[in-house]
Structure 1
Amino acid sequence: MANMRRFLIWVLLLGMLGGAGWYGLRYLPPEWDPRAPLDLDAAPNWMTGVKLRRLAVQPEACFAALASTGRPVQRVADRPSDTGCEIQNAVRLPSAAPLAPASPVTTCRVAAAWALFETQVMQPAARQHLGSEVTGVRHLGTQNCRNVNHARGGRRSQHATANAIDIAGFTLRDGRQVTLLRHWDGSGGEAAFLRALRDGACGWFRAVLGPDYNAAHRDHFHFDMGPWRACR
């Protein structure tokens, strides 16, 4: 909170000073400078979320942020569509914890949010609640040309444009398997781990849906970077 207060004071001062104030941005440290690139490996602060949202209109900055982590980034060619299922600015999702059954295609923004989720939420929660680390993630897919809830009509799902990923379970370094279907309603460390993931993911993804949302999500988390905000 102290950092946020300092940042808001900066914004107020810069607004009061007008053009001369914006000159003062050069004195901000990179992690608080809104003009600086998003650093996915740096300790996050309030400005990290601002920069993450800005990637919606800065796709090349998104690719650069992923590349700066040192993980191999495999870009995917744009795929036009006349049915609302186009894929743009996409990658094969890079992940420190291998994805099964295979590395899926996602928008770069999902990949950037995933990088923050892995390092800032998933691994710390695994160490805290399970005394281990995640070495594998089981997903249920990303791209599916369909409407929300598989309805015959209505708006397109974020899955239609690979702007979402569904996560069903996790493999730990000690060999344990944690799944939403088996452990969400439990009372042990596995349940605490999963609920920490849901709560923490809401800080990076625009929409986070899980078993508490509805029966359709009883066995997985839905993470997306669409225009609507939800944390359920």
Structure 2
Amino acid sequence: MGRSAPVVMLAAATVLLAACSGSSGNKTYFETEGLVAPEGACSIKPSRLGLAERLGRINEGNGCRVPDPWEMRSVGNVRFSQPATLNCGVAAPLHDWMENTVQPAAQRAFGESVVSVDVAASYSCRPRNNRRGAKMSEHGYGNAIDISAFTLESGRKVTVLDGWRGGRDERGFLTKAHDQACGEFRTVLGPNADRNHRDHLHLDLQNRRNGGHYCR
């Protein structure tokens, strides 16, 4: 009996390694069928649009990969609460949305500009809504960013969780930010989408075969 213990431990270790690899063990965690990875090239380097540093290519061997990842700390004059790891193609639409939609909407609603945003998520190798067996999230391509709050010059923080159904100024600002993001991103999800998005705006560049957008 004493000699069987190492055999059992070796078998357990083999199972654990299989689960952590890019083999069929990970297929039960999320699906990648039908998904299209983003391109590595982008027309404008993120470092021209904000504080950004290029990272080494990410490929976890299980479907999660970022062709041209950058660590972004700001876009324009808007700081991030934490560094966001994003594929290079996300930088330009994020910058344009912030400059052309978010800032004008903040001026109209509050009479001041946004100086920072709370980044709830960027690159993350996981299934959609963290549901095991679902398709891989666009976060797994570095193709998405979640924003949960906007901080104004005065220090006032407008959160998606409280502001979406809060005062008129916050409701108007967040609705405008959400709706106009649909022109820059392929997918935009907010509190009206489902409970998983009650506290943030999800913005991504999912490559759909029909080239369509999904905004809710």
The root-mean-square deviation of aligned C-alpha atoms, in Å, is 1.6
Secondary structure of 1:59's counterpart equals: coil
Q: Which string of whole-angstrom CA distances, capped at 9 and with x for unpartnered residues, describes residues 51-81 of structure 1?
A: xxxxx65715232xx4544x34311110222
Q: Distance between the aligned counterparts of 1:58 and 1:147, measured in 2?
A: 22
Q: Distance between the aligned counterparts of 1:118 and 1:156, measured in 2?
A: 27
Secondary structure of 2:108's counterpart equals: helix
Higher helix share: 1
How far the C-alpha of 1:151 sits from its partner, in A, is 1.8
Percent identity reads 33
Larger radius of gyration: 2
Secondary structure of 2:83's counterpart equals: coil
Alignment partner, residue 79 of structure 1: 58
Do residues 231 (structure 1) and 215 (structure 2) align? yes
Q: Distance between the aligned counterparts of 2:179 and 2:145, measured in 1?
A: 16
Q: Distance between the aligned counterparts of 1:104 and 1:205, measured in 2?
A: 17
Q: Distance between the aligned counterparts of 2:140 and 2:42, measured in 1?
A: 22
How far the C-alpha of 1:110 sits from its partner, in A, is 1.1
TM-score where L is the length of structure 2: 0.75
Where structure 1 has 5 or more consecutive residues not aligned to the other structure, the ranges are: 1-55
Do residues 98 (structure 1) and 79 (structure 2) align? yes
How far the C-alpha of 1:117 sits from its partner, in A, is 0.8
- Checking the alignment, whether the CA contact within 8 Å between 2:40 and 2:87 is kept in structure 1 is no
Greater RCO structure (CA 8 Å; 6+ sep): 2
TM-score where L is the length of structure 1: 0.70
Structure 1 stretches (4+) deviating beyond 3 angstroms?
66-69
Q: Distance between the aligned counterparts of 1:224 and 1:60, measured in 2?
A: 15
Do residues 88 (structure 1) and 67 (structure 2) align? yes
Q: Paired residue for 1:62, among 44, 62, 65? A: 44
Where structure 2 has 5 or more consecutive residues not aligned to the other structure, the ranges are: 1-37
Higher strand share: 2
Secondary structure of 1:62's counterpart equals: coil
1:67-146 equivalent positions in 2, closer than 5 A: 67-69=47-49, 71-93=50-72, 94-95=74-75, 96-100=77-81, 102-146=82-126
